Amino acid sequence: MSANASASPKCPSVGPRGALALCCALVFVGSLGLFVWGLGAAHDVYFDEAWYVPTARALIKSGAMMHQEHPPLGKLLIAGGMRVFGDNSIGWRAMSALFGSLTLVATLIWSYALLRDLNQALWACAITLFDSIVYVQARIAMLDIFLMAFCAFALAFFTLSLKERKSPAKSLVYAMLMGVSLGLASACKLSGLFLLCGILAVRLLIGLLKLWRARFEDARETDFFAPDAWAALTPVNTFLALVAAPLLAYFITYLPQLLHEGSILEFFAAQRRMIAIMTGSSATHPYSSLWLQWPAMTRPVWYLFHVGGPRAVAWSAANPAQAIVALANPLVLYAGEAAILVAAWRWIARREVDAMIVTVGFFSQYLPWAINPKGLEFFYYYFPSLLCLGPALALVFFRGGSRLGSWLALGFLALAGLAFVFYLPVLSAQFPVDPSGFSERIWFDSWR
C-alpha cells in the first residue's frame, strides 16, 4: 500500500463563505438565547406595547388594522408571534427577539463585506451587541427592531453590491436584495426611507462622476469611485433596485389590509392617513428629545419602572424595581460617534469606500430628523444610525493593520462587555435594581 493511500484523510476546509455561514448561525442561536432569557419577566405590557399588542389582538381577531400612524409590517409580525406563542408576555415579544438576532446576523454580514476579515467582523458584531440598543429593542413589542433588522440587511447588500466589480450579475442581485430590504424597512416605519435616500444619493454621486468622466490622478484600490464603480446599476437597473423593488416589497405588506377592506384603494387611503398623522400636531411627552440632543444621550427613554408588592411597600434593597431604560452603552456610543467622524474625514480626505459606506449609513438615518414635521422625537429614533458604530470602530482599530490596534481593540471589547453587564439591571426586567444600584448607573438627572 502506498504512503498516500495509508495517510489519514484530511477534513476539507469550509472556506470563507462556509466559515461566515457558521458564524452567522452561532451568532443567531447565541443571541436568540440571550434575548429570550427572561423575556417574560415583565408580565404586563409596558411603554408602546400598550399600543401595539392591542393592535395585534385586533389583527388576529378580525383582521382590522388599528393605529395606522405606521405601515403594517411590524404590527403584522407582532401578531404572528402572538399566533404562534399565544397572547402572553412571550408571544408579544417573540418576534422582536427573533429580529434582534437577525439584526446581529445582518451586522456580521455587513461588517464582513466591509472588512473582509471574519475576526474583525465578529468584533464589530459583538460591539453592536454590547451597545445595548439591540438587546433592549429585542425584548419589547415595538416596531423599531424590525426597522433596524431590515436596515442592517440593506446596508449589507448595499456594500456587497457596491464592492462587487468582477460580476455585474452578482452585483445586481445584491442590489435587488438591498431594494427589497429597504422596502420592508419602510413597511415597518416610514423612516426606512431615510436610508433609501442616502443610498440613492450615493448612486447619483457615482453617476455624476461617471458623466463628468472623473478620474483620480492617484487612483487607489480603496477609492469609493472608479470608472467601473457600480457598473451593474445602469439607469434601468437603478430604477429596478431603488424604486421598483422597494415599492413592490412595501406594497405586498399591505395585502392583508387590502383584503380585509376589499379594495386596492385602501393602499392609497392608508398613505393619506399616515401623512395626516405625521404632519399633524402631537402632545408633549416627558421623555421626548430633539435630534440635536441624541449624540450626547441627554434624554434616554424609560420603558418600564415598576416596584412590586402593595402600594405601601417602598422601593428598597429588599423590594427592588423592574427597570428598563433605552440607554446606549456610553463607552460604545461616544467612542463610536468619534469613529463616525473619523470615517467621514477618511471619505472626504482619502476617498475610502468603506468610510463612505459607514458615513452614509449613519448620517442618512440621522440628519432627516432635523426636518421632522411632527416635532415629537425620542432618543430611540437614533438607534438605526447607531448600528453603524461597531463597523466604524472596527475601521479605526483594524484598518492600520498594526498589532497595537488589535490589542487596543481587544481591550475596548472587554470594557464594552463589562459595561454591558454592569448596565443590565436597568436594561432588563429580569434583573431588579435597588436604589443604590440605580444611582450607580443613572449618572445624570436628565437620565431619570
Give the model confidence (pLDDT) of 281-304 as tens digits: 777 888 989 999 999 999 999 999
Residue 37 has pLDDT above 80, yes or no: yes
Q: Please state, in angstroms and as integers, the Cα–Cα distance from residue 376 to each residue in 283, 285, 345, 369, following that order.
A: 8, 8, 32, 10
Phi, psi torsion values for 116, nearest 5 degrees:
55, 35
Strand-pair partners of 323: 305
Q: What is the DSSP letter of 280?
A: S
Give ∠ CA 229-231-235 in degrees, rounded to 5. Answer: 120
CA pair distance 113, 347, nearest whole angstrom: 17
Q: Mean pLDDT for the chain?
A: 92
88-109 burial, b at 16+ Cβ within 10 Å, e below that, comes to ebbbbbbbbbbbbbbbbbbbbb
223 or 32, which is more confident: 32
Residue range 337-351, pLDDT digits in tens: 999 999 999 999 999
pLDDT in the model for residue 281: 72
Residue 310's pLDDT is 67
Residue 255 · residue 243 · CB < 8 Å:
no
> What mean pLDDT comes out for the span 110-132?
97
Q: Structure pTM?
A: 0.94
Is the per-residue pLDDT at 1 higher than 50?
A: no
By C-alpha distance, which of 292, 340, 303, 307 is closest to 325? 303
pLDDT band for position 229 (cuts 50, 70, 90): confident
Q: Which amino acid is at 388?
A: C
How far is 251 from 260, CA to CA, in rounded Å?
Answer: 15
Report the interhelical angle of 49-61 vs 73-85 (nearest 10°). 70
Residue 347 confidence (pLDDT) = 96
pLDDT digits (tens, 9 = 90+) for 170-215: 999 999 999 999 999 999 999 999 999 999 999 999 999 989 988 8
Three-class SS state of 325: strand
Q: What is the mean pLDDT of residues 262-274?
A: 94
Q: Are 298 and 327 in contact (CB under 8 A)?
A: no
| pLDDT (average), residues 148-169 | 96
Q: At what angle do helices 389-398 and 330-350 cross, to 10 degrees?
A: 70
pLDDT tens, residue by residue, 81-108: 999 999 999 999 999 999 999 999 999 9
Give the pLDDT confidence score for residue 218 in this predicted structure.
84
pLDDT band at 7 (very low <50, low <70, confident <90, very high): very low
Residue 220's pLDDT is 86
pLDDT of 49 above 50: yes
Q: Taking the CA of residue 74 as centre, how many other CA atoms within 13 Å lie in the half-sphere pointing to its CB?
A: 35
Confidence grade of residue 311 (pLDDT, cut at 50, 70, 90): low
Q: What pLDDT score does 71 carry? A: 96
Number of C-beta neighbours around residue 373 at 10 A: 8
Residues in CB range of 68: below 8 A, 6 or more apart: 270, 273, 274, 277
Q: What is the reported pLDDT for 372?
A: 84
Cell numbers given for 233: 446599476
Residue 9 is predicted with a pLDDT of: 39
Give the pLDDT of residue 8.
37
What is residue 86's predicted lDDT score, i.e. its pLDDT? Answer: 95
pLDDT band at 6 (very low <50, low <70, confident <90, very high): very low
Work out the end-to-end distance of the chain between its first and last CA atoms, rounded to an integer number of angstroms.
77
Alpha-carbon dihedral sign for residues 408, 414, 415, 416: positive
Percent helix, strand, coil in the chain, to 5, is 65, 5, 30
349-387 pLDDT tens trace:
999 999 999 999 999 999 999 998 777 889 999 999 999
User: Percent of the chain at pLDDT above 90?
Assistant: 80
What confidence score (pLDDT) does residue 312 get?
52
Is 199:259 a contact under the CB 8 Å cutoff? Answer: no
Helix (H, G, I), strand (E, B) or coil at 307: strand
pLDDT value at 11 more than 60: no
Q: By the 8 A CB rule, do 389 and 128 touch? A: yes
Sorting pLDDT into bands at 50, 70 and 90, what band is 228? confident
Q: What does the DSSP 8-state code read for residue 286?
A: T
